[in-house]
Structure 1
Amino acid sequence: MEVVSPDADDSPALDVRGLNKRFGDTVAVANLDLRMERGHVLALLGPNGAGKTTTVETCEGFLRPDSGEVRVLGVDPVTHGERLRPRIGVMPQGGGAYPGARAAEMLELIASCSAHPLDPAWLLDTLGLTAAGRTPYKRLSGGQQQRLSLACALVGRPELVFLDEPTAGMDPQARRLVWELIAALRADGVSVLLTTHLMDEAETLADRVVIVDHGRAVAEGTAAELTAPHDGRQELRFRSQPALDLDLLLTALPEDCTASEIRAGEYVIHGEIDPQTVSTVTAWCARQDVLAHELRVDRRSLEDVFLDLTGRELRS
């Protein structure tokens, strides 16, 4: 996908320093720092209400920060919004299209406002929307609405794209297509900031991941850095019947090992994992007349890191 050449400067695609934003007594973003180099993909992760959408909307220029500094492609998105808007693409949470507009009409309207747009017909075809071109937005399926919103964000050949939960409501085929498009954007030098609740999406697509909670960054780095063992300890994971008695296993394992059932029927052993440890686990399963499925030595998943940092309780 060919894009407009970025300005010849060395400023990052996104540079946020000390961002603060409140809504009444609610602190949405608290002293947040973000930086994304050009041509990179940054995934912003966090529970509901963590401040992700507020951060994105501030970077897009729709919200004015209470304090802090925000620079997008080297400019202030509030004071220089007219200069910035032609250079960015926005896929908001919830679509953002006119309910009565037909899919093709909506995309053609946005293309007409761009200096060097992509061919709307080609983009509709690429995203599997050609047959729905004459369908009003409000009658599209949730996945089709998401794909149309993505098309609207891309049609102007942006240098930077903001994608707020881009694959929400999509089936696996459409989700895979969007992943391929994001990878193609990155390959063409387009910068992408995406929010997502899908950990595998962040691991697959992002150069860097930032996890936010209560408006603050609680961890950042590559997916590999975030999931690497902090103390050299490994993990042994396996699946079996739920609610097995772990006390017997713990008495047989070395003292520095821990064992827990992190989800129903999913067990993890932390410690120095050697052949004897694996043998101990399988012997314990045999004594309980159960099998250990998918037994593997592994590192923590990004989901494990996310839950450890933000908690496992359900949030509204």
Structure 2
Amino acid sequence: MSDPTTDAATEAFVAHRNLLFTVAYEMLGSAADAEDILQETWLRWVTVDLAQVRDLRAYLVRITTRQSLNRLRAMARRKETYVGSWLPEPMLTAPDVAEDVELAESVSMALMLVLETLSPTERAVFVLREAFGVDYDEIAAAVDKSPAAVRQIAHRARRHVDARRPRKTVTQNETRAALESFRRAIESGDLQGVLDVLAPDIVFMADGGGVKQAALHPVLGAEKAARYLLGGTRKRGTRLTTEPAVVNGSPALVVRLDGEIDGVMAARVENARISGLYYVRNPAKLTHVASETRLTLR
């Protein structure tokens, strides 16, 4: 005979699982770590007396936030010894993510990189408030701060992010068009074609994690980025192909060498040109590009 309390706990957890995963992913930038956080959340959730919980969703988000904060602080130490640039883990996302402008923007590679510049607490407060609309009192309970302190942190984090995110909203079609031009040029080895679609001040970042060859530092400027890209992807005897995909809610490219997945390229587009290009090659970060991951803000 089943335990009604356990059944209720399971039902609530399953109902909010996609939300909890999205919270953890936005805080951590790692799908693998977000999956671990879900396991930790579940283990704590089944010990909770549900009769004392007024809002099951809010309580689950609180547990997930606390576990994510602990993991985020541990990851900071891990990143100190990471080989080369660290980029968020890309995820193949369902079409409905791209249709939700707010959700797509919140998990975009460009914004996730900006979030990397926040402190763990700032990131948690920003994500909970800006992406999920959690009230200040609930955030305060999740991060062990007073509501007044949370308001100050939220204001500081928002100002920091706003100063670094694109000022002009770019549509999915604009991003898709820029990537299509880039795709044709990179596959044909057309240097001028690549230069035409890159912004003069582009920042190109590659993440090989010390496992695959990648630029150890960001490559700045269209000329350098174009030559690096063509030199690194046009190896003798290697056939490079790219295919459009929706990654983290935005148009992206899956890159294949001789038919095998080599990495994922995401882009930040401004004024019809690519101003940021992010190439994830680390095999450990490519496990979520084979099938769609469901995300939600609700």
Is TM (by shorter chain) over 0.5?
Answer: no
Q: Which has the higher contact order (CA 8 A, sep 6+)?
A: 2
TM-score, normalised to structure 1, is 0.22
The structure in which a higher percent of residues are strand is: 1
TM-score, normalised to structure 2, is 0.23
Larger Rg: 1
